[in-house]
Amino acid sequence: MPQGELYDLENDRGEKFDLRAKYPEIANKLKSLLDEYRQRGFSRPLKRKLANSDK
């Protein structure tokens, strides 16, 4: 599973500056919460459509 990304959406709406390396404790806490929610069935990975796919 990808590491994820962390952005300050109030000040970086274009999501240009990934803050994961600067704030690893926040990124890790959010990943842990997401993993817990997925295990409990509250969230699941997105299925991405391919540009040339009929699905």
Per-residue pLDDT tens for 2-38?
Answer: 678 999 999 999 999 999 999 999 999 999 998 888 8
Domain tally, the chain = 1
pLDDT of residue 43: 75
pLDDT band at 41 (very low <50, low <70, confident <90, very high): confident
The answer as to whether 53 is a domain residue is no
The answer as to whether 38 is a domain residue is yes
pLDDT of residue 42: 82
pLDDT at residue 54 tops 80? no
pLDDT of residue 52: 55
The answer as to whether 55 is a domain residue is no
pLDDT of residue 2: 61
Answer whether 27's CB lies under 8 Å from 4's CB: yes
Contacts of 50 (CB under 8 A, 6+ apart): none
Question: Residue 10 is part of which domain span?
Answer: 1-43
